[in-house]
């Protein structure tokens, strides 16, 4: 299975390295029993200062992937959220790995004077096809990829229609 792993790129992230995806995919393979091809956005060749090249290559990689897992660490950057929407454009299943108690899942948030317990980030839970909390759950979900009907980019228009 071709897997695109979205998430932090900076070595200053919680992972402490640019190349955490290799270990992450190896762990997913071990747990799921599925052979994975890591389509790694950090291995794009060419001028990393050329934003058009980087964007085009990431889009191409997402298009060729069978599935995306986005690691929603508390320090994820804007790229990860954009990659989710690109995957939706290409009708790819997206597994969001949002650790319980983290910024996107299960924490307590204050919004406009209201306390929200067991918070679920609306952008994560609306756009990801499945949200899991552990690597083990992500590995189990990979086994179900053929049965997942991905949300497409039309989910944006549908959500507006659903609230009117």
The mean pLDDT of 33-42, rounded to a whole number, is: 94
As a whole number of Å, the CA-based R_g of the chain is: 16
- 16 versus 7: which is more confidently predicted? 7
Take residue 62 and report the two structure tokens written for it. 């997402």
**What pLDDT does 18 receive?**
59
Q: Which domains does the chain have, with CATH numbers?
A: 2-163 (3.40.50.450)
- pLDDT tens, position by position, 78-115: 888 999 999 999 999 999 999 999 889 988 988 889 99
Take residue 79 and report the two structure tokens written for it. 């790229």
End-to-end alpha carbon distance in the chain: 39
**What pLDDT does 44 receive?**
86
The C-alpha angle with vertex 67 and arms to 136 and 39, in degrees rounded to 5, equals 95
Question: Which of 124, 32, 139, 1 minimizes the C-alpha distance to 70?
Answer: 124
Q: What are the Cα distances from residue 77, in Å, to 12, 72, 82? A: 12, 9, 9
Question: Which of 164, 17, 150, 11 minimizes the C-alpha distance to 85?
Answer: 150
Q: What are the Cα distances from residue 31, in Å, to 37, 40, 61, 66, 111? A: 15, 20, 24, 18, 38
Helix axes 51-64, 78-89, angle to 10 degrees: 50
For residue 36, pLDDT beyond 90: yes
Q: Could you tell me what percent of the chain has a pLDDT over 90?
A: 68
Q: Could you tell me what percent of the chain has a pLDDT over 70?
A: 93
């Amino acid at each position: 299975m071709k897997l695109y792993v979205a998430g932090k790129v900076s070595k200053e992230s919680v992972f402490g390295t640019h190349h955490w995806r290799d270990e992450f995919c190896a762990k997913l393979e071990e747990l799921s029993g599925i052979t994975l091809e890591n389509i790694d956005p950090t291995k794009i060749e060419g001028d990393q200062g050329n934003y058009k090249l980087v964007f085009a290559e990431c889009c191409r990689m997402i298009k060729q992937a069978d599935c995306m897992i986005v690691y929603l660490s508390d320090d994820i950057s804007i790229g990860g959220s954009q990659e989710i929407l690109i995957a939706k454009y290409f009708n790819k299943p997206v597994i969001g790995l949002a650790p319980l108690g983290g910024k996107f899942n299960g924490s307590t948030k204050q919004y406009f004077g209201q306390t929200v317990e067991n918070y679920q980030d609306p952008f994560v839970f609306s756009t990801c096809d499945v949200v899991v909390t552990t690597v083990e759950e992500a590995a189990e979900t990979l086994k179900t990829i053929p049965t997942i009907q991905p949300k497409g980019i039309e989910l944006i228009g549908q959500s507006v229609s659903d609230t009117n």
